[in-house]
Amino acid sequence: MQYDSSGLSTGQVLTVRGSVVDVKFTSALPKIGTLLYTSDKAIVLEVQSQLSAEKVRTIALTPTQGLARGQAIDNADTSLRAPVGPSILSRMFDVFGNPIDGKPAPTDIQWRSVYSAPPSLISQATSSEIFVTGIKIVDVLCPLERGGKAGLLGGAGVGKTVLLTEMIHNMLGHHQGVSIFCGIGERCREGEELYREMQQAKVLDNMVMLFGQMNEPPGNRFRIANCALTMAEYFRDDEHRDVLLLIDNIFRFIQAGAEVSGLLGQMPSRMGYQPTLSTELASIEERIANTKTGAITSIQAVYVPADDFTDPAAVHTFSHLSASLVLSRKRASEGLYPAIDPLQSSSKMTTTGIVGERHFHIAKDVKRVLAEYEELKDIISMLGLEQLSSQDQSVVMRARRLERFFTQPFFTTEQFTSKTGRLVSLEDALDGCERILNGEFNQVPESALYMIGKVDEAIHKDQALKTKPLEPSLGA
């Protein structure tokens, strides 16, 4: 990041408490949000509050090792800025806009402040469109909105990052737009793997990646989302392109805010979160909008602490989402991937006015059958399937086949599963659900519907299993 501090006021470090640094200025006091630098520019601070006529409290965006009392601090007289321009595509940046992919810094770029207001209400588009992902359970039961915000909610290890990576692969291959991946507080290993996978999938040319990694100070992780949004707004407003913004993980943004709040000495709110949680989250979410010239569609992974959906972080995030995909640990343990819970997941797009009569009724019937099966599970576990009425047995049969049909091999997991990835159109997914609901596949074994694309693959899979010769037993 370029700046000129000549002729501006210079301050002096008063106290250093971890990431919180108090600085004294004898002349003009810097504004809130202004960056301060040490003379060698190794340590960057951001002004958070003005304590008196001479003193400001700052939060460090870089590690503060080596900072000492009495050290000179320069006022940059500018807020944090992010690079924008066509040349940022296929690159990877940190919170300061420095490239971290080992390549030279991009040329022909502009620097813009990472703080901007959401688009005005009059400039926002009012029509609703579906954003097709190619993943059956998502497109049928909880379709995403173009220009909307979707959340992937779940605890640790249920497949949020894998599902996010698959959506990047599918969408960049089939939507002519720009993708921006923002990694907040994630492992550097995941960032390196994602970069390599996107390179191999040949989708990196229309993608920008930003990382505020797990080892960075909380101030750094707290501001990386603002940088990503500034880049997304450039492509939407200046180049009039559709943008897919992927955030992994929005909970880490809230967590970084809680750390910053605690370091600044603010009184914690419910469950230890910062008192400004709602405002901070809204400042990010409200900038993600659909305008008349382009759209920012956001998919956000949301870690739910201890699988508790009443946690304030999950509750406040829910209020901004147009679709929520809830990942279930139980389904993951049963091998039903993607482990999306069809009964807990929802989307405001599933209305007849948006998806149409046929789609609406199929989704409704699928959820009804799965809900009836869920109610029957206790009876089955106690008395057995044979004790159910023939009508209930038919419900169980169709529900179990639907559950397996909704599993899908992913392109991004081919190296682990040895199964070729499948991209399924919305029409094929609806056709498969309709035929299963009508009982057409009652005679086909459940296993034939597991990890397939189109429903017709189950018939070929069943025939192949029937014609396969039996392997001799060990005792033969």
| Site of tokens 């010239």 | 293
Are 1 and 97 contacting, i.e. CB atoms less than 8 angstroms apart?
Answer: yes
Burial class of residue 282 in the structure, from the number of CB atoms within 10 Å of its CB (0-12 exposed, 13-18 middle, 19+ buried): middle
Q: The tokens of 98 are what?
A: 């420095």
Burial class of residue 84 in the structure, from the number of CB atoms within 10 Å of its CB (0-12 exposed, 13-18 middle, 19+ buried): buried
CA angle 134, 139, 142 (to 5 degrees): 145
Distance CA 330, CA 340 (A): 10
Element (H, E) at 284: helix 277-285
- Print the SS3 string covering 140-197: HHCCEECCCEEEEEECCCCCHHHHHHHHHHHHHHHCCCEEEEEEECCCHHHHHHHHHH
What per-residue string of b and e applies to 42-77 under the rule 16 or more CB within 10 Å gives b?
Answer: ebbbbbbeeeeeebbbbbbbbebeebeeebebbbbb
Q: Which of 330, 324, 285 is nearest to 307 (CA)?
A: 330
Are 249 and 302 contacting, i.e. CB atoms less than 8 angstroms apart?
Answer: yes
Amino acid at the residue 391 = Q
Q: Which of 450, 428, 426 is nearest to 142 (CA)?
A: 426
Largest distance between two CA atoms of the chain: 93
Query: What are the residue numbers of the active site?
Result: 160, 186-187
Work out the number of other CB atoms within 10 angstroms of the CB of residue 162: 18
Are 20 and 37 contacting, i.e. CB atoms less than 8 angstroms apart?
Answer: no
Distance CA 447, CA 442 (A): 12
